[in-house]
């Protein structure tokens, strides 16, 4: 077996490990972050389980730490108190980005992790099966239920040789993205192997597994080897180590070879993570902003590398440089060794240990200006500036360019600093609050921003609906449900946040959707790529969207649609072309066809043309759609004597 198969088979509850078949796996650990966590815990609460049934569950606060109004502060209180009551560890705001802190303190080789954030695969760097999912799927895992997914194909990426000076782990994953695009990993787990692994440290591996999410892959994983042991030892967690890797004769569904010594500094140009160029080609482009941080590049080594490049240099007068260390551990260590002073002297602005600019929480770039970021996503407008020009690159490229004021190849910098793993990380878990010993005494605090979860009824036998919006390929969940300071504070309030659905593409969408009794969204290929935010399904559901017709779907978003009772239907390109915004369509036998067939038929009322669309639902997903969503389905299961109290 390969490593992915070993991790799956040791957690397999239902199904056979054949690509394309539905399987269920048991979940050892869960993580949530504040922007998806409030809903996840409201959903968990609705299941009536007193205490989580996982080995470990952690609730992080990292996305919205601005507290520009009471809403955000209320969310933090809710998250801390419900964590205390339900057996969950709580990582306080300021302690760091969920993925960075989880890697440092909790991730364990051989275990499974389900997180309500699409970059959960970051922990795959430690030899664990770490998957991103919607909040409701994570809530269900906390209730002790298995996680369902389609058995992925296993893609083996063989890394050979050694990175040359100036090239880093970020350039490796940008090369993978160049080859796979933002769709190429859909339905796959990427498993890394090869002699190139020997010199790749765990934080470097995490950069690679983190941004594997941008290929659409279910997750990415590295073996647990001597590098893993060294990292865990330096984190004072050597006891968590076990050796894990593929069998010598392991087979894979697909193979890709990457020679590390051929990798040169790369950059993702606006506005997609797969729009890859060489830094050399883009060199000379004037830059107004540089941001170093986000869960993909904010480790101790990443920030140290930037500090060493900036030491005795100055940030260019035209550039604003913002640095967000990934965790308090990183911040403490660069404070102690003086690197923070180097950054400050060079002219860097030091931000909190949080997602910050990556999710549009401040630092929106000026109009028309190039912003160079070490982040993982540059979807249009995500920075908060409409028509932004965000480029994604390594910390080395970012730091050198901040000095020069133009995009600069890091190999032009005279010295190429090499930062290895420190022998010992500074460990201080005082901002991680363990669950209460006396949960009865904990009162869950709910401010006025925390509104109950909306639910919908079961699927009608037939359905008349109108196409509320027609959109292109690669629509992201940032397009559907934007983030940023104003909107993110409404993540616990579905009626209020639903007013912003598609607001960047078509601000009248919510009004039209509400006016029509049943709405359809018409999408292109890879609909719903990017984030795991279930708000991109929940808020449209609240507005009356019943169906999404698209050429194809991104995995997490499709699951979220099903979880909230919105039917994802796949259509052929000709059908996409034939339908328009405002088309009125009728599905005469929708419930029966879902139950009995793999396709549904519908008619365009104006033209009288009839079409088919594939639903490809598994038997379990059929039940969920017919029930009107996962919560209704769980409720029904309870009636049929499931142990869940709901």
Residue from 76, 119, 555, 622 binding ligand MIC (CB under 6 A): 119
Residue 132 or 184: which CB sits closer to ligand MIC?
A: 132
Residues 188 and 217: their CA atoms lie apart, in Å, by: 5
| 376 near ligand SF4, judged by CB under 6 A | yes
- Return the number of other C-beta atoms located less than 10 Å from residue 304's C-beta: 22
Between CA 1 and CA 264 the distance in angstroms is: 33
Residue choice 181, 532, 563, 621 for contact with ligand MIC (CB under 6 A): 532
Q: Is residue 533 involved in binding ligand MIC (CB under 6 A)?
A: yes
What does 36 interact with, of ligand MIC, ligand SF4, none (CB < 5 to 8 A by kind)? ligand MIC
Residue 97 touches which member of ligand MIC, ligand SF4, none, C-beta under 5-8 Å by kind: ligand SF4
Mark the segment that binds ligand MIC (CB under 6 A) among 114-122, 543-551, 558-566, 609-617.
114-122
Whether 484 contacts 500, CB under 8 Å: no
Q: Does 7 bind ligand SF4 (CB under 6 A)?
A: no
For the chain, what is the total number of helices (H) and then of strands (E)?
A: 23, 27
Kindly report the length of the chain: 646
Instruction: Fill in the per-residue mask, 376 to 415: x = in contact with ligand MIC (CB under 6 A), - = not in contact.
Output: -x--------------------------------------
The rounded distance, in Å, linking the Cα atoms of 299 and 305 is 10
The answer to whether the beta carbons of residues 60 and 155 sit under 8 Å apart is no
Q: Which of 119, 153, 404, 546 binds ligand SF4 (CB under 6 A)?
A: 119
Measured from the CB atom, is 193 or 529 closer to ligand MIC?
529
Q: Return the bridge partners of 226, or none.
A: none
Binds ligand SF4 by CB under 6 A, chosen from 2, 193, 294, 476:
294
- Least separation in angstroms between residue 324's CB and ligand MIC is 14
Cβ atoms of residues 373 and 394 within 8 Å: no
In whole angstroms, give the CA distance from residue 555 to residue 282.
33
Residue 511: exposure state from Cβ atoms within 10 A (0-12, 13-18, ≥19):
exposed
Give start and end residues of each alpha helix (H) in 579-629.
Answer: 590-596, 619-627
**In this complex, which beta carbon is closest to ligand SF4, that of residue 97 or of residue 292?**
97
CB under 6 A: which stretch of 385-393, 512-520, 527-535, 598-606 binds ligand MIC? Answer: 527-535
What span, in angstroms and rounded, lies between the C-alpha atoms of 372 and 172?
Answer: 18
CB 143 within 8 A of CB 47: yes
Q: Which helix (H) or strand (E) holds 131?
A: strand 129-132
**Interacting span for ligand SF4 (CB under 6 A) from 82-90, 221-229, 352-360, 411-419:** 352-360
CA 114, CA 345: separation in Å to the nearest integer? 41
- Residue 54: left (phi > 0), alpha (psi -120 to 50), or beta? beta
Residue 117 touches ligand MIC, criterion: CB under 6 A: yes
Binding mask 33-62 for ligand MIC (x = CB under 6 A): --xx--------------------------
Strands 219-221, 56-60: pairing kind: unpaired
Question: By CB under 6 A, is residue 562 in contact with ligand SF4?
Answer: no
Q: Are 84 and 436 in contact (CB under 8 A)?
A: yes
Buried b (16+ CB within 10 A) or exposed e, 472-499: ebbbbbbbbbbbbbebbbbbbbbebbbb
Q: How many residues bind ligand MIC (CB under 6 A)?
A: 14
Using the contact rule CB under 6 A, the part of the chain among 80-88, 101-109, 113-121, 422-430 near ligand MIC is 113-121
Q: Exactly one of 129, 339, 359, 390 binds ligand SF4 (CB under 6 A); which one? A: 359
Candidate segments 344-352, 355-363, 450-458, 586-594, binder of ligand SF4 by CB under 6 A: 355-363
Task: Give the binding range for ligand MIC (CB under 6 A) out of 81-89, 324-332, 526-534, 630-638.
Answer: 526-534
The nearer residue to ligand SF4, 2 or 531, going by C-beta atoms, is: 531
One of 150, 217, 339, 359 touching ligand MIC (CB under 6 A):
359
- Could you tell which of ligand MIC, ligand SF4, none binds residue 532, using a CB distance below 5 to 8 A set by kind? ligand MIC
What would the DSSP string read from start to end of 398-429?
Answer: HHHHHHHSB---GGGSS--------SS-----
Q: Which does 315 bind (CB under 5 to 8 A by kind): ligand MIC, ligand SF4, none?
A: none
- CB proximity list for 329: less than 8 A, separation 6 or greater: 96, 101, 104, 300, 425, 426, 427, 428
Task: Choose which of 28, 117, 171, 352 interacts with ligand SF4 (CB under 6 A).
Answer: 117
97 binds ligand SF4 (CB under 6 A): yes
Q: In this chain, which stretch among 100-108, 164-172, 435-443, 525-533 interacts with ligand MIC, using CB under 6 A?
A: 525-533
CB of 27 to ligand MIC, least distance (A): 17
Give the binding range for ligand SF4 (CB under 6 A) out of 4-12, 17-25, 353-361, 614-622: 353-361
Give the Cα separation of 617 and 146 in Å (integer): 18
Name the β-bridge partners of 57. 30
Q: Looking at 20-28, 193-201, 261-269, 529-537, which segment touches ligand MIC (CB under 6 A)?
A: 529-537
Residue 309 found at the interface with ligand MIC (CB under 6 A) = no
Q: How many Å apart are CA 71 and CA 68, to the nearest integer?
A: 8
Phi, psi of 127 (to 5 degrees): 75, 30
| Residue with smaller CB distance to ligand SF4, 269 or 355 | 355
Q: Which is nearer to ligand MIC, 132 or 203 (CB)?
A: 132
Candidate segments 253-261, 354-362, 426-434, 471-479, binder of ligand SF4 by CB under 6 A: 354-362
Residue 449 interacting entry, from ligand MIC, ligand SF4, none, C-beta within 5 to 8 Å by type: none
Compute the Cα dihedral for 227, 230, 232, 235 and give only its sign. negative
Which residue in the set 193, 531, 560, 632 belongs to the binding site for ligand MIC (CB under 6 A)?
A: 531
Distance of CA 633 to the CA centre of its chain: 26
Contacting positions for ligand SF4 (CB under 6 A): 63, 97, 117, 119, 294-295, 355, 358-359, 376
Contacting positions for ligand MIC (CB under 6 A): 35-36, 63, 117-119, 132, 359, 377, 483, 530-533
């Amino acid at each position: 077996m390969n490593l992915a198969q070993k991790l799956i088979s040791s957690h397999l509850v239902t199904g056979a490990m054949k690509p394309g078949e539905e399987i269920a796996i048991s979940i050892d650990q869960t993580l949530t972050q504040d922007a998806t966590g409030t809903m996840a815990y409201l959903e968990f609460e609705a299941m009536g389980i007193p205490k989580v049934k996982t080995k470990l569950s952690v609730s992080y606060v990292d996305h919205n730490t601005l507290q520009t109004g009471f809403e955000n502060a209320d969310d933090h209180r809710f998250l801390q108190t419900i964590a205390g009551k339900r057996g969950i560890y709580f990582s306080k705001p300021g302690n760091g980005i969920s993925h960075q802190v989880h890697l440092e303190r909790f991730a364990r080789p051989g275990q499974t992790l389900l997180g309500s954030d699409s970059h959960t695969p970051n922990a795959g760097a430690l030899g664990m099966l770490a998957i991103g999912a919607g909040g409701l799927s994570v809530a269900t895992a906390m209730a002790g239920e298995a996680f369902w997914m389609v058995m992925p194909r296993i893609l083996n990426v063989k890394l050979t040789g050694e990175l040359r000076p100036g090239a880093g782990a970020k350039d490796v994953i940008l090369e993978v993205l160049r080859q796979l695009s933002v769709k190429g990993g859909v339905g796959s787990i990427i498993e890394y192997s090869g002699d190139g692994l020997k010199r790749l440290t765990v934080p470097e591996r995490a950069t690679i597994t983190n941004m594997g999410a941008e290929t659409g892959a279910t997750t990415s994983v590295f073996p647990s080897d001597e590098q893993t042991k060294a990292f865990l030892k330096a984190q004072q967690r050597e006891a968590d180590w076990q050796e894990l890797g593929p069998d010598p004769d392991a087979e894979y569904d697909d193979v890709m070879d990457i020679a590390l010594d051929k990798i040169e500094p790369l950059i993702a140009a606006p506005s997609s993570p797969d729009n890859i160029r060489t830094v050399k080609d883009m060199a000379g482009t004037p830059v107004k902003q540089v941001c170093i941080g986000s869960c993909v590049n904010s480790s101790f080594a990443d920030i140290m590398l930037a500090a060493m490049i900036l030491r005795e240099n100055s940030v260019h007068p035209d550039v604003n440089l913002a640095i967000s260390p990934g965790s308090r551990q990183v911040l403490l260590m660069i404070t102690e060794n003086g690197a923070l002073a180097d950054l400050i002297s060079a002219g860097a602005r030091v931000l909190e240990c949080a997602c910050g600019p990556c999710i549009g929480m401040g630092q929106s770039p000026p109009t028309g200006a190039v912003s160079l970021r070490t982040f993982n996503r540059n979807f249009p407008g995500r920075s908060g500036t409409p028509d932004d020009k965000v480029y994604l690159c390594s910390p080395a490229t970012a730091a050198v360019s901040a000095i020069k004021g133009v995009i600069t190849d890091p190999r032009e910098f005279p010295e190429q600093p090499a930062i290895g793993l420190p022998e010992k990380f500074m460990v201080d878990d005082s901002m991680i609050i363990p669950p209460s010993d006396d949960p009865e005494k904990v009162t869950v605090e709910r401010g006025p921003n925390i509104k109950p979860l909306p639910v919908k009824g079961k699927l009608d036998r037939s359905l008349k609906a109108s196409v509320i919006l027609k959109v292109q390929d690669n629509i992201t969940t940032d397009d559907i449900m934007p983030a940023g300071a104003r909107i993110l504070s409404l993540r616990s309030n579905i009626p209020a946040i639903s007013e912003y659905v598609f607001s960047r593409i078509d601000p009248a969408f919510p009004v039209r959707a509400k006016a029509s009794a049943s709405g359809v969204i018409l999408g292109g290929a890879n609909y719903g790529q990017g984030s795991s935010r279930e708000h991109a399904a929940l808020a449209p559901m609240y507005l009356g969207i019943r169906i999404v017709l698209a050429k194809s779907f991104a995995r997490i978003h499709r699951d979220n649609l099903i979880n909230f009772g919105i039917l994802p239907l796949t259509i052929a390109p000709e059908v996409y072309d034939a339908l328009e915004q405002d088309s009125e369509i009728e599905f005469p036998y929708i419930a029966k066809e879902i139950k009995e067939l793999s396709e549904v038929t519908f008619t365009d009322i104006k033209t009288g043309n009839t079409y088919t669309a594939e639903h490809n639902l598994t038997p379990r997903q059929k039940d969920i759609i017919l029930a009107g969503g996962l919560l209704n389905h769980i409720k029904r299961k309870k009636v049929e004597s499931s142990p869940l109290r709901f």
